[in-house]
Amino acid sequence: MDFNQLCSCLKQYGASWMIFKELSENDNSKNQVYLGGSYEVLQEIPHGEITTFSDCKRPNMKAKLDFWWVSDNGSAANAPGAQLILYPKYPEVRLSGFLKSCPTAPSAHFQVINREDRTGDKDGRVLVMAPVGERIYAYLAPRGASIAAHLIGLPHDGLFGHVEFGYEDSKTELIRHLRIQYATNPHELVRMFPDGEIRHYKARNAAGYTLEASFGIIPNGTPEPDFKGWELKCYGSSSVTLMTPEPDGGLYEKLGTRDFVEQYGHVAEDGGMYFTGPYRATENTKFGSPRKLVVEGFNIEDGKIEDVDGAIVLLQDEDTELATWSFSHLLGHWGRKHNKACYVRYEKESDTQINYLPKVFLGEGTSPIFLLRAILANVVIYDPGSRVKLDGSMKARSQFRINHKDLCLLYSKYEHVDISK
């Protein structure tokens, strides 16, 4: 097939963009496919839960892929063994198990080249991957094929090249839609429900749901970005909630939210028990025993994860681990949702209406390394709000927050856009 036919085929499978990478001679069935020396790979490629393997020669992390090879006739079949392998110490990310038991896999183009015949250069093959939800449709353009020549000729930088299939790129479409929202201020607080209906909604996070509803988004809690690769964030003060992952270790996980809050929380004015912060890399003695965030297994000097079993840890008295977020948990949660993010500030017009403000922040190209450094620099804080009320009702809320002025520290590319123009 030619390039236009490939685009049409991928669009029929539901894709709206593709990423591509020129391959080298060493990218083969034996040595795996080298995808990059950056965690940006995790933001580009949808993947399953990340699992840690520390008891091996090269400690690593692995993530299963829902990977489908597209053939020249347009048919597709699953490669059940496909997975990402992360070697955090280097860092390095490779694609493995992508050929076995898949009838449409281009196995003939991934044969090992004898060492004496290698030149060490890129060899003209191009790997195409088109994300559709949590699935990936892949195509291998052989050396000399018109698709390979077309893609190699496109300008691109970073780990992958990008091609979008729409009439306008996703950023342009995003900004165009936001300008419409600004022009139609004020907005009633609403939420789009699973039945597709938009109804009035009043809660702490109603502004974010209102923005999502304007894009036709039903809140679903999936790891996918909200709008064509962009995560939408709406905030009403200088503090922005980045993510809300519950701890996967420490006493919080061992005891469960209720018992933990009752044992380590404090009594609030309403008589309930609350576990609140904020906590940062410097000690907080507000609630008695000193508590602080530490990052174990991360070398801030060279920006590398040295221990795959490392974690963000909320410590009390230097040795009691109140809550931990393993790196594997963190990588999966930060993941794809934050690689391209749009932050929109709002102000209240009334109890039921909001106005979007004209200056929005667009961030592209993040990494968990940026996040870990920001935690150690006291820029990102842990600000929980878990509670157990007198009537027995309970709410778990673990959130990491940042001042909106510091968002630029989390992205390799960022800009402010005035949506009033």
One domain for residues 117 and 260:
no
H or E, element range at 147: helix 146-152
One domain for residues 154 and 196:
no
One domain for residues 182 and 157:
no
Domain final residue pick, 140, 164, 188:
164
Burial class (CB in 10 A: 0-12, 13-18, 19+), 12: exposed
Domain final residue pick, 101, 136, 164:
164
One domain for residues 325 and 368:
yes
Domain final residue pick, 164, 187, 205:
164
One domain for residues 309 and 175:
yes
Task: Name the CA radius of gyration of the chain, rounded.
Answer: 23
Q: In terms of residue numbers, what domain contains 92?
A: 3-164
- Per-residue pLDDT of the chain (421 residues), as tens digits, is 999 999 999 999 999 899 999 999 889 988 899 999 878 888 889 899 999 998 888 899 999 999 999 999 999 999 999 999 999 888 899 999 999 999 999 999 999 877 766 676 788 999 999 999 889 999 999 999 999 999 999 988 778 999 988 666 889 999 999 999 999 999 999 999 989 899 999 888 899 999 999 999 888 666 566 788 888 999 999 999 999 899 999 999 999 999 999 999 999 999 999 999 999 999 998 888 899 999 999 999 888 899 999 999 999 999 999 999 999 888 877 866 788 899 999 999 999 999 999 999 999 888 889 999 999 999 999 999 999 999 999 999 999 999 999 999 999 899 999 999 8
**195 to each of 14, 83, 251, how far by Cα in Å?**
22, 35, 39
Domain with residue 67: its CATH number is: 2.40.330.30
One domain for residues 65 and 102:
yes
One domain for residues 155 and 179:
no
Domain with residue 412: its CATH number is: 3.30.70.3570
One domain for residues 209 and 351:
yes
